[in-house]
Amino acid sequence: MKTYTPIKALVVLLLVLMYVQGCRTTSDIQPTSTSSQQNRSARVSAPPVSQVIGPYTVTFTSISEDGLTWSYTIQRTGPAQGNGLSHWIINLGACVSYSNVISATIDGQPYTNLANSEGSGTNCNPTGQFLKFDDLPAVISDGALHTFTFTLDVAVDPATVATYVKAGNSCTAGTITGPGCYHICGNIVKEAFVTTITNSTTACISNPTAMTTGSSTSTSSSTMAGTDIVVTVSGPNGETTVTTDGDGNYCMTNLMPGNYTVSIPTVSPVGSETITVKPGQSQMFSLPPSTDIASFTVTTATTETINQPPVLIECAVPQGCSFSQGYWFAKPGLAWPGNVTVGGKSYSQAEGAAIWNTSNSGGIPASKKVFLQVAAIKLSGGSVLPTASVWADVATAEAWLNTLPKLTPTNLKTVGTNAAAVAAADRISAWIALNHCD
C-alpha cells in the first residue's frame, strides 16, 4: 500500500502579485477615472477547466491570489485499470522549471514524491520542464474527488499545457490549464484639449484714452477610452500587434522574459518606451510617466480667441515700496540712514535694536509690534510714496504711540494695548509684503 509521506516544514510563499494604477499620463495631465483606469490584477486570471484524460477527469480549479499556488482535482470517472493511477504529470511551460517548485500537497497533506523525469517504457513522453506526482497512493483511484496543489516561487500567467495520466499500462496525454509566461497590459486614453485665449482692454476712468491690453488663457479637456487603437509590442521573438478594446485596454500575453518596446501609431503625439519583463514577475505595464507601466494618452488640441470690449476701471494709486522690519532691525551690518521718529519720539539704531531684541515670551507686546511696523515704513523714507494707502494706518498707529512714553525694553509690556493700533500694524505688515522693495 502506498502511503503519503508526512513532512513538517514551513512553506514560505513569495508574494509577487503587484497592483498598479492604470492609465496615468503626466503629472500635468491626469485623465478622469474610468472603468479602464481601475487597479487590475498583475496576473491574468483563468476559469476552471475540466478534461477527461483516459479513465480520469482532471480539473484545473484555481490559482491562489498571490499567483503562486496552482490547484487541481483528479477523479476516476472511468473503469479501474490495473493498480490505478500511478503518477500524474503536468508540463510547467516555457518560463517555469522544476527548480521553481517549492512544495506540493494531495488532499491538503504535504506530498514529496515529486520528480521531473520519466523513465522509458511508461508510454508517457513529456517534453520540456514538467512536474510529476509519482508513486500515487491507491486511494487516488477510489472514484472520489482528490485535490492536488503545487506552489511555485514565481507568479506567471496561466496557459494551456500538456498533462499525462499514467494508469495501469496506459499513459494518456491531454491538455489542461497550467503555468505559462508573462504579459504586458496597459490602457490608452484619448484626451481632447481646448485652449481659450481671452483678450481684454482696460482704461482708467480718470484717463480713458490710456488703454491697457492684456490676455488670459484657459484650457479645458475631455477624455474618452482609446478604443480600436493598434498597439505594437516588439521583443525577443519579433513584433506583435494587439488592438485595444472598448475600454481602451490591451494585453499581450505569453511573453518570455526579455526586453520589450511598446508603441502606438506615429500619428499619436507620444512615442514609445522600452520596458522589461523580468523572470519571476508578471506585471501590468503602462507607459509614461512610469517606466514600468504601459499607457498612452492620444491628444488633440484646438484654440479659440475671444476679444472683450474695453472696460473702464478705477486705477490703482501709486504706492511705492518699503523694506520690512527684519531688514531694518535684523540684517547684519546694515546702518540706518539716521534716527527715526515714531510716536513723536526719536529713536537711535541702538535703541531700536534694544526693542527688537526683547523677548517675545508670552506673546509680542502690542507696543513693540506697532513700533516696529511704523519704524520700518519711516526708515524706508522716500521709497514709500506720499500717495500710498499705508500712511493712513501709520497715522492710526502713531495716534496711540503719541500717548505713550518713549518705549524701552523695560516698559514695552507695561504700556498696555490699543486694538485700533494693533489692527493698523497688521495692515502695515500686509502692505509691506505686497510692496516690498526688492
Give the mean pLDDT of 209-216. 75
Crossing angle for the helix pair 366-379 and 349-356, to the nearest 10 degrees: 140
Looking at residue 22, its pLDDT comes to 31
Looking at residue 14, its pLDDT comes to 28
Judge whether 409 and 354 are in contact, CB under 8 Å.
yes
Residue with cell 514695552: 412
Query: Which of helix, strand or coil describes residue 315?
Result: coil
Q: Say how far apart CA 136 and CA 132 lie, in whole Å.
A: 10
Q: 377-411, pLDDT tens digit by residue?
A: 999 988 999 888 899 999 999 999 999 999 999 99
Alpha carbon 271 to chain centroid, angstroms: 21
| Burial of 148: CB neighbours in 10 Å, binned 0-12, 13-18, 19+ | buried
> Looking at per-residue confidence, does 65 or 104 come out higher?
104
Looking at residue 299, its pLDDT comes to 66
Q: Say how far apart CA 413 and CA 88 lie, in whole Å.
A: 93
Strands 170-179 and 182-204: unpaired
Beta bridge partners of 57: 52, 75
Q: 133-162, pLDDT tens digit by residue?
A: 999 999 999 999 999 999 999 888 899 999
Judge whether 199 and 213 are in contact, CB under 8 Å.
yes
Integer Rg of the chain from CA: 40
pLDDT at 95 over 70: yes
pLDDT at 103 over 50: yes
**Considering only CA atoms, which of 397, 391, 407, 417 is closest in space to residue 346?**
407
Q: Which residues contact 120 (CB under 8 A, 6 or more apart)?
A: none
Quote the mean pLDDT of the chain.
80
Give the mean pLDDT of 179-184. 86
Q: Say how far apart CA 5 and CA 62 lie, in whole Å.
A: 25
What the block records as the C-alpha cell of 408 is 524701552
The number of residues in the chain equals: 438
Looking at residue 262, its pLDDT comes to 80
Looking at residue 20, its pLDDT comes to 30
**Least confident segment among 101-110, 317-326, 340-349:** 317-326
Alpha helices per DSSP H over 293-418: 325-330, 349-356, 366-379, 390-401
Looking at residue 295, its pLDDT comes to 64
Q: Has this prediction a pTM greater than 0.85?
A: no
Judge whether 104 and 112 are in contact, CB under 8 Å.
yes
Give the mean pLDDT of 210-237. 78
Q: 122-134, pLDDT tens digit by residue?
A: 789 899 999 999 9
Q: Number of C-alpha atoms within 13 angstroms, CB side, residue 81?
A: 16
All domains of the chain, ordered by start, with CATH?
Answer: 43-180 (2.60.40), 184-306 (2.60.40.1120), 325-434 (no CATH)
Looking at residue 44, its pLDDT comes to 62
Could you tell me if residue 330 is left (phi over 0), alpha (psi between -120 and 50 degrees) or otherwise beta?
alpha
Looking at residue 266, its pLDDT comes to 53
Give the mean pLDDT of 56-83. 92
Alpha carbon 62 to chain centroid, angstroms: 30
Crossing angle for the helix pair 390-401 and 419-434, to the nearest 10 degrees: 150
Looking at residue 13, its pLDDT comes to 29
Q: 232-284, pLDDT tens digit by residue?
A: 888 788 888 888 888 888 888 888 888 887 877 654 444 444 443 333 322 33
**Least confident segment among 4-13, 78-87, 328-337:** 4-13
Q: 190-211, pLDDT tens digit by residue?
A: 777 778 888 888 777 766 676 7
pLDDT band for position 8 (cuts 50, 70, 90): very low
